[in-house]
A and B are shown apart, each in its own frame.
Chain A
Amino acid sequence: MTGGLLFALAGVVLFALGVAGVVLIDNLLRRILAFNLMGSGAFLVLVGLAQRDGVPDPVPQAMVLTGIVVAVAATALALALARKLHALTGRLELPEDADD
């Protein structure tokens, strides 16, 4: 097993972990952490799988660079929303969606 494949497998686990975290956890900050794990997992798969014979492939590397920046943008937005919600309600979780 090559190093690339090993990290790709780790990426799969991280991805699943991240999604489970976003879905199951209530605390908003932790959900944001979880979504970051999910993204990192996907990036590891992208670069790990593309590494053939140990020689790096620059295209997925550039893609992951783009992805990291997008992820931090989303994290900042999520944090802004979480802080606003906390300022308005004092809680750090999504309230139950009271329909009507």
Chain B
Amino acid sequence: MIDPLVWLILLPLCWATLAFVLGPGRGAWTAIGGLAAQLWLAFVLADRVGAGGKALHAVGGWGAPLGIDLAADGLSTAMLLLTQCVALPLAIYARSYFKADDPAGTWFWPLTGLLIAGLNALFVSADLFNIYVTLELAGLAAVALVAAGGGAHQVAAALRYLFATLVGSGAYLLGVALIYGAYGTVSIATLLPLVTTDAPRLVWIAGILMVAGLMLKTALFPFHFWLPPAHGGAPAPVSALLSALVVKASFYLILRLWLGPLQALLPVFAWGMALLGAAAIFWGSWRAIRAVKLKRLVAYSTVAQLGYLFLIFPLLTCPGALQAGVMQAFAHGLAKAGMFAAAGVLIKATGQDSVAGLAGAVERLPVTLLAFGLSGVTLMGLPPSSGFLAKWQIIEAALAQGYWIIAVVALAGGLLAAVYLFRVLRQAFLLAPTPQPAAVVPRALEWGAFALAAASVLLGLRGVELMRLVGVT
């Protein structure tokens, strides 16, 4: 009887180690094999959780609060599904993306393995300090992936990201320290009944510290300064992994705290979060509209789209809001991965990273442009994509509680997304001033991007199952 919960963590650790031992530049097939197995495990877990409720595993047999517990409810299982669903196509994409002697690809596989292990471990951990360790594992892996093999800009971006992520986890750790001081445990399940509305000031400060640190790691406005250079400067598969998955991890943690141990304290800040989310949507979209470089544009789009996630906080009393948030995470994860993958192909083919240089791309790379377009459909929130489903749910939940302003912001965000996305597509449909010699791009890259983008749209048709899964507690 294989326990998918535990193997989703052990397996990536195993193949990452194997990939490292195999040596520099090796490990692609190990990774792809491992990720395929993980995808299967994630579906097995989703089946079990959907049928039988939350899955639990007490590591060491001790049980909280002495030991560390792993727990997978609907929300965690959904995030695990998202991670494996995005990582596998990206791995196949990355295999063709990195040429044999590319310094960025030398240690890509073991680093990615450790990143995925960290993410998987994070989504199922039910222990606040254990979460800190997984945060560091994923965060440092992400920084390394951004910096690998890069020039001055990439290294500077990686350093900026590193400092931001370290301050974020530092604040989170201080919060955990205060909570342990107040209650004597860091187990989420044990803390749940202990934290009440008349918790001491210490716990309030701890909550604020933890959420602030996690906001910094999610690049929520105004803490977003590190994201555009990091996601815009990294190699395309790395940007895809980061935008689709890593930033969602810290958002998931805010949700987990909000719905879990700190549910008596945090909802006070719901409208503050929504306000910052709205600011992120407008600021990110504005910068995307004005961006000159293609990957920078896509990175700013991430800043904007993350804002949607924070709009749901005032709505969480209504059950549909959580499902809306997860659907948005999925929609953005798949679409942004596809978009970065497409951008990577475009940049490889045209040899440069500017929007203006895309002229004539539609003739040479129709599949890639289609992928970009499909991703755009999801990001704009057009039916039948999962992005539409997510926005629809947010608007529905907002109107049900009378908060029409949130609905307006969501709609406005979709319009703004259309502006910057059409900018790219229009440029690509222009005739090139002089016919450029097309750099040959491996098929796997184009179709990898297409697969992700198409998945983001098709998910809209099967969204109900996902939402039912999320509802399991």
Question: Is A in direct contact with B (CB under 8 Å) within the complex?
Answer: yes
Q: Which 6 A-B pairs have the closest CB atoms?
A: A49-B181, A100-B292, A46-B177, A88-B152, A45-B177, A42-B174
* In the assembled complex, A85 has its CB within 8 A of some CB on chain B: yes
A46-B180, A88-B152 known; A82 vs B159 contact (CB < 8 Å): yes
Chain B residues with Cβ below 8 Å from A15 are 170, 174
Instruction: Give 29 pairs: A residue, B residue, CB < 8 Å, sorted on A.
Output: A8-B181, A19-B167, A28-B159, A35-B167, A39-B170, A39-B173, A42-B173, A45-B181, A46-B177, A49-B178, A49-B180, A50-B181, A60-B177, A60-B180, A66-B129, A66-B133, A74-B162, A77-B144, A78-B166, A81-B143, A81-B159, A88-B151, A89-B152, A97-B156, A97-B160, A97-B225, A99-B287, A99-B296, A100-B292
* In the assembled complex, A6 has its CB within 8 A of some CB on chain B: no
Contact indicator A85/B160 (Cβ below 8 Å)? no
Contact indicator A74/B166 (Cβ below 8 Å)? yes
* Chain B nearest Cβ from A2, distance in angstroms: 12
Contact indicator A77/B163 (Cβ below 8 Å)? no
Report the Cα distance A59→B128, complex, angstroms: 13
A15-B170, A19-B167, A95-B152 known; A84 vs B147 contact (CB < 8 Å): yes
Report the Cα distance A7→B156, complex, angstroms: 36
**From residue 10 to 47 of chain A, which have CB atoms closer than 8 A to chain B?**
15, 18-19, 22-23, 28, 31, 35, 38-39, 41-43, 45-46
Report the Cα distance A95→B152, complex, angstroms: 9
Contact indicator B166/A35 (Cβ below 8 Å)? yes
Contact indicator A22/B166 (Cβ below 8 Å)? yes
Chain A residues with CB under 8 Å of chain B are 8, 15, 18-19, 22-23, 28, 31, 35, 38-39, 41-43, 45-46, 49-50, 59-60, 63, 66-67, 70, 73-74, 77-78, 81-82, 84-85, 88-89, 94-95, 97, 99-100
* Chain A nearest Cβ from B219, distance in angstroms: 14
Chain A residues with Cβ below 8 Å from B156 are 85, 94-95, 97
Chain A residues with Cβ below 8 Å from B151 are 88
Report the Cα distance A37→B27, complex, angstroms: 38
* In the assembled complex, B140 has its CB within 8 A of some CB on chain A: yes
A19-B167, A74-B162, A100-B291 known; A67 vs B173 contact (CB < 8 Å): yes
